[in-house]
Chain A
């Protein structure tokens, strides 16, 4: 099932890429008064841009089948190497913020469902919505000014300090962690609101069920009732959201990577789009598609974990 899906995604990506006006050579040749039209044509020939798009797609596909992603038009380096350099940083950022989103959202959701209409419920709802509504780049800048500039607690941007290579292993770890705090927090802020609301309503739904009343009637302590009987059932719709959120996070990380000068794949992809760097774009498209499919698979596996009635043949 996954192979045809992947093929379809790459075909669509390739086709849409061709629809966008402009060529990879434009960055060098556009309005460059020192570049003759012969030199431009030579460049177009070198990158085989004069061939029809389906022919080029077929060529790309044949290379892909040998796991050869080609080389970037921009600097002539292998696409797979460039992705390998930037993917870990992006994954690190995404996984950390995903963990933060889930723990915070579930905690807020459960607590405000159990203590419905309490002061905590109202305050958390207010702040969760606030976090959701304000533009993240603005929050990011405010936090940079407050925590970075005024208080000097955290570094403003980047992933490593300038003197990183001179540090001991433990210091390196601390240095990177300090750099990660702001991007992870800001990134989690957007995802938090929706998920917290979802888990609250899912929890409310479940608490009203008969089996929860039965559990309480059996005389089980409230803690066990909520965390064991109610919570596991409330998790099912949330797991579906996890599968949907993964590609969204990876797509959205380009904004955060740009603001925080973070050396990740989102920026690599953005630059590739702007430069019409076809091989790079196709490489990133394929990797993101793979990650999305992996996310869906993960969600499916988690279903089975949450709901013993679901079994895969």
Chain B
């Protein structure tokens, strides 16, 4: 069967945006609108994948069983139980108790005593996420690129990587992952140099005239407020470390941590902030039109920092229409350089993806595809007969 979609103009990320589960007609019976949304089959998905949905106990577990009719052969692991454990430290205890086989680790758990992992293998992969420090370019304080440059020189990213993700991550220079073809390896980061930061600020007229340790200009101290959302320990920790780093350069930064909905609704959407720390999840396709294009500045859109660069606009428009990979690569690598040099964000770091799996599982293959590079061949994972922990009682599986 062929599905044909017609676009009024070329749109390269189209294929990626069409990822959607199968909606079998014999199950849904052509339900539309609300009847579709509320259809019980939404809770009992029927598809063509390696596993068949068996049971879902809300807030408790989801059970999947191997699909004997899977096109690539029945998966080796007969049953997959996904347990819901809301508290991360309890989840880790269950792992130590060997009652769960896999979980995602936080950086400090990854560095826990070796005895915790005696029957487990830890993995470390890049993750399709980066954390950034964003300037509100509409604020007079940050309009001048010199000021932003001074801050970029005052921040020590390697210290952030060491302290926040405990070395399990890497410094970022732009909006693309290092393993993406859009990444420009030639982009050199601003080196950390608090003295240079101070001299740049002095050139712009910011001096510590009353010697209280905080720079001032025209009687006003250099201070601003950084916001981030509640519940993300890595972000609040980054904020505290940056606060100390900027203090050394004579800048006073206040931190406000705000509950997610309020954060988005009252501060980000309304563009009511000086600076913030947040993260973006990146898709495999490098198109980031909605984040950087100057037409995306309305309330609730994602260019909430009011970034505007004619060349970046042109690249974003061109990049969506160009199918030639070599040409696209050139475009996005150029954009990487411009966005780095323009400093709308200070790109901070990429945290790593840290899964842990019981050692009896074999056959996993990793590919350099960020998060998707792990577990993609789960249907080919297997456990040797002598190592089986949970024998399947129901033999017809």
Contact = CB atoms under 8 A, between A and B. Distances in A.
A33 interface: yes
Interface in B38-71: 38-39, 42-43, 57-61
Interface in B204-252: none
25 contacts: A21-B262, A31-B264, A31-B268, A33-B280, A33-B290, A37-B298, A76-B39, A86-B58, A141-B89, A141-B93, A144-B93, A149-B93, A149-B97, A157-B85, A162-B99, A166-B393, A259-B90, A261-B83, A261-B85, A261-B86, A263-B59, A263-B84, A268-B58, A271-B59, A274-B260
Given A267-B86, A276-B261, A157 B94 contact: yes
A130 B290 CA distance: 55
Interface string B276-306: 0010100100001011000000101110000
A31 to B, nearest CB: 7
Contact of B302 (A31, A40, A148, A271): A31
Interface string A113-126: 00000000000000
Contacts of A76: 37-39, 42
A71 B38 CA distance: 8
A160 B60 contact: yes
A86 B57 CA distance: 10
Contacts, number: 103
Contact of B94 (A34, A37, A156): A156
Interface of B: 17, 34, 37-39, 42-43, 57-61, 81, 83-87, 89-90, 93-94, 96-97, 99, 260-262, 264-266, 268, 278, 280, 283, 288, 290-291, 298, 300-302, 390, 393
Interface of A: 20-22, 26, 30-31, 33-34, 37, 40, 46, 71, 75-77, 82, 85-86, 141, 144-145, 148-149, 155-160, 162-163, 166, 258-261, 263-264, 267-268, 271, 274, 276
A21 B261 CA distance: 6
Contact of A156 (B34, B93, B300): B93
Contact of A22 (B34, B99, B262, B280): B262
A21 B87 CA distance: 26
A63 to B, nearest CB: 14
A82 B38 CA distance: 14
Residue from A21, A37, A46 with most neighbouring chain B CB atoms (10 Å)? A21
A18 to B, nearest CB: 13
Contacts of B288: 33
B261 A22 contact: yes
Contacts of A157: 85, 90, 93-94
Contacts of A40: 300
A34 B60 contact: no
Contact of B57 (A37, A141, A145, A263): A263
Counting from the closest, the 4 A-B pairs by CB-CB distance are A22-B261, A263-B60, A263-B59, A21-B265
